[in-house]
């Protein structure tokens, strides 16, 4: 009898804890640096994949476009909670590079939380 009660309590605890767990969704962005005098951020072409309930997220990301060095971009994005996942040199000029960033968001932070 005690084992049955313990099993039911354990199963209930696991079920309840999982139902309150937050679902995380990764979002990515790209920053190009190089021939231009400033960085250019891209969040993709499909706007619906990058819509947030908090509009200040996009406003803060657009501030990257005012930065001029990869160090500034890395520091700024790190302060916003983004993680660098890749740096790829491109073009004929080796000073050109694409930086890719990733950040996990709660599903509830997204406008389209499908």
| pLDDT 10s digits, 6-56 | 555 555 555 544 455 688 989 999 999 887 778 999 988 877 777 888 888
Of the candidates 25, 21, 41, the residue with the CA atom closest to the CA atom of residue 33 = 41
73 within 8 A of 31, measured Cβ to Cβ: yes
Per cent of the chain over pLDDT 90 is 39
89 within 8 A of 70, measured Cβ to Cβ: no
Of the candidates 97, 69, 72, 100, the residue with the CA atom closest to the CA atom of residue 84 = 100
d(Cα 60, Cα 92) in Å, to the nearest integer?
Answer: 31
**What is the DSSP-derived secondary structure letter of residue 110?**
B
pLDDT band with cut points at 50, 70 and 90 for residue 60:
very high
| pLDDT 10s digits, 66-114 | 998 889 999 999 999 999 999 988 877 667 889 999 999 998 888 865 5
In the chain, what are the domain boundaries? Answer: 23-109
The pLDDT assigned to 94 comes to 65
83 within 8 A of 90, measured Cβ to Cβ: no
The pLDDT assigned to 40 comes to 92
């Amino acid at each position: 009898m005690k084992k049955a009660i313990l099993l039911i309590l354990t199963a209930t605890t696991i079920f309840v804890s999982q139902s309150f767990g937050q679902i995380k969704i990764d979002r990515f962005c790209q920053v190009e640096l190089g021939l231009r005098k400033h960085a250019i951020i891209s969040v993709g072409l499909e706007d619906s994949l990058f819509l947030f309930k908090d509009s200040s997220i996009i406003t803060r990301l657009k501030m990257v476009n005012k930065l001029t060095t990869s160090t500034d971009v890395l520091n700024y994005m790190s302060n916003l909670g983004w993680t660098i996942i890749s740096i790829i040199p491109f073009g004929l000029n080796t000073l050109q590079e694409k930086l890719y960033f990733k950040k996990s968001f709660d599903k509830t932070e997204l406008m389209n939380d499908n």
